[in-house]
Amino acid sequence: MTTAAALFSTAGADQKASGVVIHQYPVTRGGLLVRRYKRFLADVVFVEPEPCGSSAGRALGIGNSEGARREHENGAAEVGPSVTVVADTGHGSGDGNSGSAAGALTCHCPNTGPMVGLLNWPMAPVVCSVSTAPGRKYSHTLEMIQPSPGGAWVGVHSALANRLVQELLDRRLLPQLGEWREVTREVPYGSRGSRVDFVLTRPTGRRVFIEVKSVTLAEPYRAHNVGVITATSGLDPGPDQTSVRPNPSAVTAAPVAGGPSPTPPRNIALFPDTVSERAQRHVEDLMEVLAQGSEAVCLFVIQRDDCDLFAPCAAKDPKYAKLVRQAVSAGVQVLALRTSLRPAAATAHHDKEDSRGKAEGDAVPHCAAASDVGGAGRGADALASVVYLGPAQLELEYGSTDDDDSANLTVAMKKQSRNSSSSSRRCNEGASGTSSRKRSKPKP
């Protein structure tokens, strides 16, 4: 029988990596995902009868949830007293609990996309935030999911990406963007009536337009994979996916007797996970303001910690991938940020994990509430959180079969790299009050 610790363990090669906490969830609750439907709704089984509040810190009683998952395909399974999980993929009525699967609670799912690769594991562990605000139709919001056994936790709240970037800007943690004195949100721009997420104003008055995108899709990285990319992420190839050709670079070498273990394969984060005309339009808007003399940045927030690479997804939206490459060649800056989503128990116990992210301790998922901070509970470390791990490496030509502007792209990327290094150095010098400029000796 799978324990609660195993179900809610965190994973990913970067769990021991140092990072900065940039977001904490005041109240969270762990459960198992029954289904996601009508785009904005999800049915989740919670064994605890009430959301966590003053009683935060009690372990979730989900010791028999693996049995529920095992029986899920047969139609129904007992998860706990008076809780039945139903293998129902139909549509609920959406009115609170009346349309949800038996024994499950209907939650808000703040993700408009297909969530490719995140819904394959039946009864996957999830974490929901809990709100007590009056007037809300759904008090629970789906925040993160563990889409595969022992895999990384993935943030599904698309709008959270903007809040994370706001925090990074407020704390001046993005030196790659250079110096600026003012930040404005939701500014109209372009000729299509769009609104850009952020506008930075430099000391010189020049403006920097920043478009933010949330990234959840990932797949094993295949080097030199022109024409090979599938973006299946564990899915069977569908009508919008090309089939995979054998690629020697994607094969992990077998361990040699008495030798070191093979290096785990790298993962690459991809955006978007479906054709997105809106995302295409935003790239075109960025190129438009760039042509008008402003600066432009396309910033991707990777809401999972098992990827250190990023690429626009040519398999899902080849037009978008091409537009991104054209934008970079024109001078638009692209930056991908790595984050780690950590449930409450993992936040308190992530230091007990080995390099492969397997839990060594008996971390039990807990509900967590901000009211416990400083009290008798585990304090602030018990809260579910998001940790910033730093920038990801860009692979903008990944999966592309169009190399018309490859040379221009390479030159543009080298220029951006130099500018980013220079901006980081200037920001560091400004913070320390030093300068790398040579000072002339005073005259006698």
Task: Pick the most confident of 84-93, 225-234, 347-356.
Answer: 225-234
Is the per-residue pLDDT at 27 higher than 60? Answer: yes
Instruction: Tell me which of 366 and 211 has the higher pLDDT.
Output: 211
Which tens digits make up the pLDDT trace of 383-431? 999 999 999 999 999 998 876 555 555 555 556 665 655 555 555 554 4
The residues spanned by each domain of the chain are: 4-153+351-373, 160-237+265-339+396-426
What pLDDT, on a 0 to 100 scale, did the predictor assign at position 42? 97
Which tens digits make up the pLDDT trace of 33-55? 999 999 999 999 986 555 543 33
Mean pLDDT value of segment 186-215: 95
Fold (topology level) of 160-237+265-339+396-426: Trna Endonuclease; Chain: A, domain 1 (3.40.1350)
What pLDDT, on a 0 to 100 scale, did the predictor assign at position 190? 83
d(CA 27, CA 9): 19
Instruction: Tell me which of 205 and 11 has the higher pLDDT.
Output: 205
How much of the chain exceeds pLDDT 70, in percent?
Answer: 57
pTM score: 0.72
Is the per-residue pLDDT at 30 higher than 80? Answer: yes
CATH number (3.40.50.2300, 1.10.287.110, 3.30.428.10, 2.40.50.580) of 4-153+351-373 reads 2.40.50.580
Decide: helix, strand or coil at residue 318: helix
How much of the chain exceeds pLDDT 90, in percent?
Answer: 52
Of residues 357, 376, 371, 365, the one with CA closest to residue 128: 365
* Neighbour tally for 381: CB within 10 Å: 17
What pLDDT, on a 0 to 100 scale, did the predictor assign at position 335? 98
Of residues 163, 190, 98, 118, the one with CA closest to residue 386: 163
Tell me, yes or no, if the two domains 4-153+351-373 and 160-237+265-339+396-426 fold the same way. Answer: no
Instruction: Tell me which of 246 and 125 has the higher pLDDT.
Output: 125
Instruction: Tell me which of 121 and 418 has the higher pLDDT.
Output: 121
Of residues 152, 164, 103, 153, the one with CA closest to residue 128: 153
Work out the pLDDT band at 10, boundaries 50, 70, 90. Answer: very low
Which tens digits make up the pLDDT trace of 292-343? 999 999 999 999 999 999 999 999 999 999 999 999 999 999 999 999 999 9
Mean pLDDT of the chain: 73
Lowest average pLDDT, out of 87-91, 152-156, 393-397, goes to 87-91
What pLDDT, on a 0 to 100 scale, did the predictor assign at position 84? 34
Which tens digits make up the pLDDT trace of 264-304? 779 999 999 999 999 999 999 999 999 999 999 999 999 99
SS (H, E, C) 123-165: CCEEEEEECCCCCCCCCEEEEEECCCCCCCCEECCCCHHHHHH
What pLDDT, on a 0 to 100 scale, did the predictor assign at position 144? 97
Lowest average pLDDT, out of 22-31, 224-233, 259-268, 380-389, goes to 224-233
> Distances in Å between the alpha carbon of 183 and those of 167, 300, 312?
12, 18, 26
What token pair was written down for 139?
Answer: 């008090």
